[in-house]
Amino acid sequence: MRLTPEQIRDELEGFAWHRAKWYADRLVAASPFRYDSHPSFRVEFEHGYWTDSGASDPEWQRGGIVKLLAYLRQETIGETLEYLREKYDAYETDEDDAPTLDMPLLGVPAPYIPLEDSVLAPYQWRHPYLASRGIGEAVQRLCGVGYDRDRQAIVIPIRNANGTLANVKFRRVDAKTFWYAKGGRPIRECLFGIDVIHAQQLRRAAIVEAEVDAMTLMCAGIPAVATLGAAWNEIKAEMIRNSPIEELLIIRDNDSAGRKWQREVIRTLAGDVRLTIVSVPIAFKDVNEAGAERMASRIARGRRIRTLKLSVKGA
């Protein structure tokens, strides 16, 4: 069955919207996919259809609720469908939202195989986008950041705890749209930066929502992992438990989704590692917006964190 209008509105209310106007049957707001100074984005609650009248890319001019939620939750469409089935026993069958997955004929899942590092070979370039957001060259090298010149997208490798390549995130530099590598590990099973934690045997680290927030903290010498969105689950919790981390600094975004994320992290990890809450100043949305120096100052008021090594082999 489909989501009801009430369920659609409830899901959308969990995210921050710029210049939003909530009506009984629709939401009108600035586009979440690009830099939009005038509200040109509209979602109808009746069916969850959305349109972006200012979008130049046909792929992001219209779509259904699953595609929208997958973007807002920063996960694949398949993962969003699974989330909706578990929460509402609901699913979408619209062509725009249908995941392009090869479904196995048998119920036995195929063994997980990491991506080959060779998939990163075409992206050994640098773009000033991350530097403009305060991410220095040393951290970009540590995280293996690249650039897709054809699609004008920053390339961010996401690695497993043992350093193998789990997935790759592509984020356009001229819009807010992003996508993941085909055949990569599901984002619900990934923690950005967990490879660095294991490689350097770091016992204290911060946990944030977005990879750019984690890299912002790394610029201040603060070890950090990112959940790649506000979705938290037992798989990610187990990755923390199985890591060298003994003390975890929880730093959420200043929105309702961030508050929910923080509660879930605390609920699942309380008693497993020492937990400390560090707040982003209320004037800023997240860690990156607040900046590395300001966040380091706030963290310094609590426990001292072991300095992150930024040296990279061959750098």
Same fold, 5-88 and 117-300: no
What CATH class does 117-300 carry?
alpha beta
The predicted pLDDT at position 89 comes to 73
Domain ranges across the chain: 5-88, 117-300
Residue with tokens 């992003």: 178
Under 8 Å CB-to-CB from 35, ≥6 apart: which residues?
175, 176
The predicted pLDDT at position 15 comes to 82
The predicted pLDDT at position 111 comes to 67
The predicted pLDDT at position 183 comes to 85
* Multiple choice CATH, 5-88, 3.20.20.140, 2.40.128.130, 3.90.580.10, 3.30.365.10: 3.90.580.10
Radius of gyration of the chain (CA): 19
Under 8 Å CB-to-CB from 276, ≥6 apart: which residues?
247, 248, 249, 250, 302, 303
Rounded CA separation 117/162 (Å): 13
Residue 285 in tokens: 């949305």
Rounded CA separation 155/145 (Å): 6
Rounded CA separation 123/121 (Å): 5
Positions of the chain with pLDDT lower than 50, given as ranges: 92-108, 303-307, 315
The phi and psi torsions of 63 (rounded to 5 degrees) equal: 170, -170
The predicted pLDDT at position 145 comes to 98
Stated length of the chain: 315
The predicted pLDDT at position 73 comes to 83
